[in-house]
Structure 1
Amino acid sequence: MPRVLSESDVADFRERLCEAAERLFAERGPDAVTMRQLASELGVSPMTPYRYFADKEDILAAVRANGFNRFAEALETAYSKAEGARAKGSAVGEAYVTFAFEHPHTYKLMFDLHQPMDAKYVDLLAAAQRAHETQTQYVKTLISDGVLAGDPDEIGNMMWAAAHGAVSLELSGKLPPGSARGLVRNMNRALARGLRP
């Protein structure tokens, strides 16, 4: 009779499977990775992953949700440690770039894939929303302190687009190594000047 798995057993295996999947997805691309390869990485039978996930798309959604949550946590920590609206904005920008370059494979899996963000993947949807909120919270603080004026979601999206563009260009070798950080700072300053009350 098979052993009954505890919640911690299930969580542990799911975590190990997601770590292996993230590495393989980054190395080969999600389309080139099979459930059999994932099972082999963990030394389990080909059917074992199906006890924990419905299919490969389900695993990809879990990997991406984990990435969005880690990303959001990095930005939330930066925001909470900084003092004052401007410092919070700078800290979040720095944390964004730092996360992207410390975890480039995770970053690419989060943002460079098309995967439905719908009710089928509730955890992914929640994690992506959390990450989005971390990118608008500092803008709301800047607006409430009178530093910026405008719609916080729209401004947050502009700042995000600027940061993502610079990071993606450097990650793909289109900008010199180390240049995205300064470029993000300069773009954010320029945007802030144009958005003053």
Structure 2
Amino acid sequence: MPRILSEADVADFRARLCAAAEEQFAEHGIEAVTLRQLAAALGVSPMTPYRYFRDKDEIIDAVRTSAFDRFADALEEAFDAHGDPAERSIAVGEAYLDFALNNPRAYALMFDLKDLKAPPSEGLLAAGRRAQDCQVRHVQGLIDAGLITGNAEDQGRIFWASVYGFAGLVLMGQISPEEGRRLHRLASRSMITNAAP
């Protein structure tokens, strides 16, 4: 008879399975990875993952949710650490860049997946909204301080696109991490200075 699992046991195994899946998915591609392979990577029976997840789609969703939550945590921590709107804005962008460069597998699973069969869960959508909301909030701070004008959501996407581009250039080996960080700071300061009324 299988032992009764506590909530902590379930959370611990789900986290370990998601960590293994993140590595395997990024290394081999989602389609190439099976639940049997994930079970083998954790040293458990092939049926064990089914005690914690319905299927591979649910694991993919959980991995992406975890990645977006960690990403949002990093952005929010940077936001909360600075009072000056311009410095806060630059810090949020740097946190974005640091997350991408320090977690390339998670970052790829967050943004590079296309044509997934299963719709995103509410948890994944909420984690993505947290990250997006932080991008809008730091830009709203710039608008409120009179440093830029315009709509916070549109301007937030412009800042996001900028740092996304620098992260991509670094991850593709086109520029060094140091150059990516330097260019991000330069671009951010330029957008703030040139947008000021």
1:83 aligned partner, one-letter code: G
Structure 2 gap segments, 5+ residues each: none
Q: Name the counterpart of 1:62.
A: 62
Greater CA deviation, 168-177 or 34-43?
A: 168-177
1:99-136 CA-to-partner distances (Å, cap 9, x unmatched) read 11111111111111126598651111111111111111
| Alpha carbons 1:117, 1:125 under 8 Å: kept | no
1:191 Cα deviation (Å)? Answer: 2.3
Distance in 2, Cα, partners of 1:152 & 1:66: 26
Partners of 1:109 and 1:17 lie apart in 2 by 15
Other-structure match for 1:166: 166
The farther-off stretch of 72-81 and 119-128 is 119-128
**Is the 1:117–1:124 Cα contact (8 Å) retained in structure 2?**
no
Q: Which stretch shifts more, 113-122 or 36-45?
A: 113-122
TM normalised by structure 1 equals 0.93
The change in CA–CA distance for 1:138 and 1:124 in structure 2 (over 3 A counts) is same
CA 117–155 in structure 1, closer or farther in 2 if over 3 Å, else same: farther
Provide the rounded CA distance (Å) in 1 between the counterparts of 2:82 and 2:179.
Answer: 24
1:38-187 to structure 2, matched below 5 A, reads 38-114=38-114, 120-187=120-187
Counterpart of 2:11? 11
Q: CA RMSD in A?
A: 1.8
Higher relative contact order (CA 8 A, sep 6+): 2
Once the two structures are TM-superposed, the CA of residue 176 in structure 1 deviates from its matched residue by 3.7
The residue aligned with 2:189 is 189
**Structure 1 residue 21: deviation in Å?**
0.7
Deviates more, 1:171-180 or 1:50-59: 171-180
For 1:63 and 1:161, locate their aligned partners in 2 and report how far apart those are by CA, in whole Å. Answer: 23
Q: Deviations over 1:42-77 (max 9, x none)?
A: 111111111211211211111111111111111111
* Cα separation, partners in 2 of 1:16 and 1:115, compared to 1, 3 Å: farther
Question: How many residues are matched?
Answer: 197
Fraction of identical pairs, as percent: 48
Letter matched to residue 79 of structure 2: Y
Residue 8 of structure 2 corresponds to residue 27 of structure 1? no
Q: TM-score, normalised by structure 2?
A: 0.93
Alpha carbons 2:65, 2:127 under 8 Å: kept: yes
Over 3 Å counting, the alpha-carbon distance change for 1:78 and 1:117 in structure 2 is farther
Q: Which runs of 4+ in 1 moved over 4 A?
A: 115-120
| Structure 1 stretch displaced more, 182-191 or 137-146 | 182-191
* One-letter code aligned to 2:190: A
> Offset of 1:138 from its aligned partner?
0.5
